[in-house]
A and B are shown apart, each in its own frame.
Chain A
Amino acid sequence: AQSVAQPEDQVNVAEGNPLTVKCTYSVSGNPYLFWYVQYPNRGLQFLLKYITGDNLVKGSYGFEAEFNKSQTSFHLKKPSALVSDSALYFCAVRVPNTGTASKLTFGTGTRLQVTL
């Protein structure tokens, strides 16, 4: 069975500082990995994905994520945080070619709080 872990319920960072939101996964096979963001009272919005190729992927709003196969991690990063980045962030994983579209597994979410 595939699973995703987001070990931190909340991450606090000062505006202008770099931020990291951690994600580790467990799958049998090569994963597709995703990050989504949820602002208050809104649905989830896609940020970025790793399918294949370069381990460093860039996404919306200046976010990037690094795929590390040996550590089974896909941490979300941003060089300089903004107060407007404060939101709930979800990591998700899927193993391709498993015969069904349902196997997208979400982590429990990490709340990012950016303060002035």
Chain B
Amino acid sequence: NAGVTQTPKFQVLKTGQSMTLQCAQDMNHNSMYWYRQDPGMGLRLIYYSASEGTTDKGEVPNGYNVSRLNKREFSLRLESAAPSQTSVYFCASSLGPSYTGELFFGEGSRLTVL
């Protein structure tokens, strides 16, 4: 029972390089989210997808793009990485956007931009 799977777990980039973080869930959830976690700042929402075929900006979307490839998969792309994007990224999913229930999180992807 995998839950939410993120790849890669670790990545080092140089400034200006691009990369895509992959996320897949096997719980048949409708809603998926990308957060970043920085020391002293908690979790901040980057983008979310309330349902397949829709995506919306969260609190800190600048410098990122997302794709909801299908119901299972939600990817996060950094087109031109900057040192300020050094962070731990978490993908999460929920049954729906109603938020009376819990979010299920992946184990995180640690990204360092030099």
| Residues on the B chain within 8 Å of A28, using CB | none
* Distance between Cα atoms of A106 and B59 in the complex (Å): 12
| Residues on the A chain within 8 Å of B100, using CB | 32, 49, 51, 96
Number of A-B contacts (CB under 8 A): 61
Tell me the minimal C-beta distance from B114 to chain A in angstroms.
22
- Could you tell me if B105 and A44 are in contact, using CB atoms closer than 8 angstroms? yes
| Residues on the B chain within 8 Å of A36, using CB | 103
* Distance between Cα atoms of A108 and B39 in the complex (Å): 8
Interface size on A, residues (CB 8 A): 22
**A104 sits at the interface (CB 8 A):** yes
**A100 sits at the interface (CB 8 A):** yes
| Residues on the B chain within 8 Å of A108, using CB | 40-42
- Could you tell me if A100 and B90 are in contact, using CB atoms closer than 8 angstroms? no
A105-116 interface bits toward B, Cβ cutoff 8 Å, 1 = contact, 0 = none: 011110000000
Q: Which of B14-22, B43-51, B66-74, B77-85 contacts A (4 or more CB under 8 A)?
A: B43-51
Contacts known (A32-B100, A34-B102, A94-B99); A44 close to B43, Cβ less than 8 A: yes
- Could you tell me if A101 and B31 are in contact, using CB atoms closer than 8 angstroms? yes
Instruction: Return the contact of A104 from the options B41, B103, B104, B108 (Cβ within 8 A).
Output: B103
> A residues near B, CB below 8 A?
32, 34, 36, 41-46, 49, 51, 90, 94, 96, 100-102, 104, 106-109
13 contacts between A and B (CB under 8 A): A32-B99, A46-B103, A46-B104, A49-B101, A94-B99, A96-B98, A101-B97, A102-B48, A102-B56, A104-B103, A106-B43, A106-B44, A109-B42
